[in-house]
Structure 1
Amino acid sequence: MSTEREMTKPAQDAPEVLKPGKINTPDVDIFVNDDEILLVADLPGVAKEDMSINLENNTLTIEAAYSASFTGTCQRREFDAKDYRRVFTLPKGINVEKTAAEFSNGVLYLHLPKSSAVKPYQIKVKSL
């Protein structure tokens, strides 16, 4: 199965988290090259401390929470607290130890490097 197809199908055995309120699915872009899979997730309003990224048995789970806290009496409320959750089934061959995440301006950049066993390798032919 291709990496793109593997990453876009929902995780079948992913446990659901029971929380009050609505759970939002963050928008993601997934880029694949020979070295890594880059997952870019949109998590507006979320602080780095309110985010959890877990990888277990080829299942990647991203969870985050946004809660607006302002002082004063609210006259109108359109920005409500939100929980985000997204689960992916990763293809085999991800180098878990070298996985890295960066977060800036509400956007998560998750680098999932491929292990050398799954990277393309060109064999050079020598003359005898």
Structure 2
Amino acid sequence: MRRDDRDDPFDDIFDEIERMMNQMTGGIDAGDAGFGGDAHVSVYEDDDEIRVVADLPGVDKDDLTIQCDGRRVTIAATTDHSDYKERIELPARVDEHSASATFNNGVLEVEFERTGSSADIDLS
């Protein structure tokens, strides 16, 4: 769903509808298999960090692959029964090198430090 970039009082509603549609269709990219109805992914943010929490029932730690490009996190897992892939758009840019992750009882938590929204450019 594309909208223009003007401030809109309904942005939060549209974001939630978009999130639910992505969840129903298996993720952001139609080519991805998605975790389907078995998994739930949430993103939490504060002033200093962004945390991604994913419930991954039936997945072992050794089956997981996590990648980040600073704007999106991709969580993939290959099990005996299926292949999963979920791409999560982060609400702000993060330092992917600051990532720390834990996986306990089927719950994956990945934390990132936020980066500045822009860089200063010296004019010579």
Bin for the TM-score computed over the shorter chain:
0.5 to 0.7
The answer on whether the counterparts of 1:94 and 1:113 sit within 8 Å (CA) in structure 2 is yes
More helix by share: 2
Deviation string for 1:84-117 (max 9, x for gaps)? 22112224431111011110111100112112x2
Task: Specify whether residues 85 and 99 from structure 1 end up closer, same or farther in structure 2 by C-alpha distance, changes over 3 A only.
Answer: same
Q: What amino acid maps onto 1:54 in structure 2?
A: Q
Quick check: 1:62 aligned with 2:60? no
Task: Select 2:42's aligned residue among 29, 40, 62.
Answer: 29
Q: C-alpha displacement at 1:34, in angstroms?
A: 1.2
Give the Cα separation in 2 of the matches to 1:103 and 1:96: 18
Query: Secondary structure at 1:44's aligned position in 2?
Result: coil
Q: What amino acid maps onto 2:35 in structure 1?
A: N
Query: Secondary structure at 2:76's aligned position in 1?
Result: strand
Unaligned runs of 5+ in 2: 6-11, 118-124
Runs of 4+ with >6 A deviation: none
Quick check: 1:16 aligned with 2:31? yes
* Matched ranges for 1:77-88 at <5 A: 81-88=81-88
Larger radius of gyration: 1
Q: What amino acid maps onto 2:98 in structure 1?
A: K
- Tell me which residue corresponds to 1:121: none
Task: Specify whether residues 91 and 32 from structure 1 end up closer, same or farther in structure 2 by C-alpha distance, changes over 3 A only.
Answer: closer
Give the Cα separation in 1 of the matches to 2:30 and 2:66: 15
Normalised by the length of structure 1, the TM-score is 0.59
Give the Cα separation in 1 of the matches to 2:107 and 2:59: 9
Q: C-alpha displacement at 1:33, in angstroms?
A: 1.1
Query: Secondary structure at 1:99's aligned position in 2?
Result: strand
Task: Specify whether residues 99 and 57 from structure 1 end up closer, same or farther in structure 2 by C-alpha distance, changes over 3 A only.
Answer: closer
Query: Secondary structure at 1:49's aligned position in 2?
Result: helix
Unaligned runs of 5+ in 1: 68-80, 119-128
